[in-house]
C-alpha cells in the first residue's frame, strides 16, 4: 500500500490545515534544514503532514527518500515550477487530509512567486545565518514580505530563526540586535551542529532521535523550542479565526 493511498483512507477530516512557508532569498541559510525538521516534528505529533519542495534542487524530497518507514510518515510532493503549468498548480494536489503543510522554497524565489505563496500560508519562517552579509540580505527580503499586499494587514506572522548560531561569536549579538529591532520577542536559535548534517543524510529530524541522549540535548531542546513556538502561533491564529 502506498503512503498516498493511506493518506486518503483517513476518515477524520475535522482538523484544519495549517500552512508554514520557509523562505529566504539567501542561499544556504537553512531553509531545507528547517523544513525537514519541522515536518518531522509535526509528523511525530501525529499530524497528517505534507512537505512541499518548491526548489528544483529537491533537497527536501531527497531527504524524504532517505527516511525509513519506521519513522512517522510524511507525504512529499514537488512544487518546483513546471514550464507548462501555473505557478501554484501543486497547491491543488495537496492531500485534503493534510493538517500541517510545510513548504520549502528555493533561494532565488522571485517576488511574484513569493507574493502568491505568502498569500496561501498562515506563518512564515525565515532562517538567518549570523553574518553581516546574511543580515543585510535578509533585511531586504523581510522588507519585501512586509510590503506584499498579501502580508500587510493579514495578521500573518513571521519568525526569524537564527541558524548555525555560536553564542560566543560577535555576530550572535548582531543577530539578536537585528531581531529585537524587528520587535520579535521570542527569539529562536538553532546551534551549528553536526547533528543537523547527520539528520539531513538519514532522512531524520532531530526530534526523531532519542530524546534522552545527552549528546543531542542542545539540538533537541532548540528544535523543541522552535516547534512549540510555531505551534503556539498556529493555534493562536486558529482561535482568532
As a whole number of angstroms, the distance between CA 95 and CA 8 comes to 7
Of 32 and 49, which has the nearer Cβ to ligand ATP? 32
Of 34 and 222, which has the nearer Cβ to Mg ion? 34
Instruction: Please state the closest distance from residue 190 (CB atom) to ligand ATP, in A.
Output: 4
Using CB positions, name the residue nearest to Mg ion: 32
Which one among 200, 207, 227, 234 touches ligand ATP, defined by CB under 6 A?
A: 200
As a whole number of angstroms, the distance between CA 199 and CA 220 comes to 12
| CA 135 vs CA 21, 54, 128, 165, 206: distances in Å | 19, 24, 7, 13, 26
Grid cell at residue 109: 524565489
Residue 189 in the binding site for ligand ATP (CB under 6 A): no
Residue 190 in the binding site for ligand ATP (CB under 6 A): yes
Which one among 32, 97, 98, 105 touches Mg ion, defined by CB under 5 A?
A: 32
Sheet of strand 100-104, all strands in order from the earlier edge strand to the far edge: 74-78, 49-53, 100-104, 18-22, 123-128, 157-165, 188-191
Q: x/- binding map, residues 87-126, to ligand ATP, per CB under 6 A?
A: --------------------x-------------------
Grid cell at residue 117: 505563496
Which one among 121, 196, 205, 209 touches ligand ATP, defined by CB under 6 A?
A: 196
Rounded to 5 degrees, φ, ψ at 222 are -65, -45
Of 48 and 208, which has the nearer Cβ to ligand ATP? 208
Region binding ligand ATP by CB under 6 A among candidate stretches 76-84, 176-184, 185-193, 228-236: 185-193
Handedness of CA 43, 105, 32, 160 (dihedral sign): negative
Name the DSSP class of 72. P
Of 4 and 192, which has the nearer Cβ to Mg ion? 192
**Nearest partner of 47 among 237, 217, 235, judged by Cα:** 235
Binding site for ligand ATP (CB under 6 A): 27-33, 55, 59, 107, 163-164, 190, 192-193, 196-197, 200
Binding site for Mg ion (CB under 5 A): 31-32, 59
Amino acid at each position: 500500500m502506498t503512503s498516498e493511498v493511506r493518506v486518503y483512507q483517513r476518515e477524520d477530516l475535522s482538523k484544519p490545515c495549517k500552512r508554514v512557508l520557509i523562505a529566504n532569498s539567501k542561499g544556504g541559510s537553512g531553509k531545507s534544514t528547517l523544513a525537514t525538521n519541522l515536518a518531522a516534528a509535526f509528523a511525530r505529533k501525529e499530524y497528517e503532514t505534507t512537505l512541499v519542495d518548491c526548489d528544483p534542487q529537491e533537497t527536501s524530497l531527497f531527504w524524504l527518500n532517505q527516511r525509513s518507514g519506521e519513522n512517522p510518515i510524511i507525504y512529499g510532493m514537488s512544487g518546483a515550477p513546471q514550464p507548462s503549468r501555473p505557478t501554484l498548480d501543486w497547491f491543488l494536489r495537496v492531500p485534503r487530509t493534510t493538517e500541517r503543510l510545510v513548504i520549502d522554497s528555493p533561494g532565488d524565489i522571485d517576488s511574484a512567486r513569493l507574493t502568491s505563496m505568502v498569500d496561501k500560508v498562515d506563518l512564515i519562517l525565515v532562517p538567518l545565518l549570523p553574518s553581516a552579509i546574511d543580515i543585510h540580505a535578509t533585511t531586504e527580503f523581510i522588507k519585501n514580505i512586509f510590503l506584499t499586499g498579501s502580508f500587510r494587514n493579514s495578521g500573518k506572522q513571521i519568525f526569524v530563526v537564527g541558524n548555525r548560531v555560536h553564542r560566543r561569536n560577535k555576530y550572535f549579538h548582531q543577530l539578536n540586535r537585528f531581531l529585537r529591532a524587528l520587535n520579535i520577542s521570542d527569539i529562536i536559535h538553532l546551534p551549528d551542529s553536526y547533528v543537523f548534517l547527520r539528520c539531513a543524510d538519514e532522512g531524520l529530524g532531530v526530534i526523531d532521535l532519542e530524546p534522552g541522549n545527552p549528546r543531542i540535548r542542545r539540538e533537541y531542546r532548540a528544535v523543541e523550542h522552535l516547534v512549540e513556538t510555531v505551534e503556539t502561533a498556529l493555534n493562536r491564529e486558529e482561535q482568532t479565526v
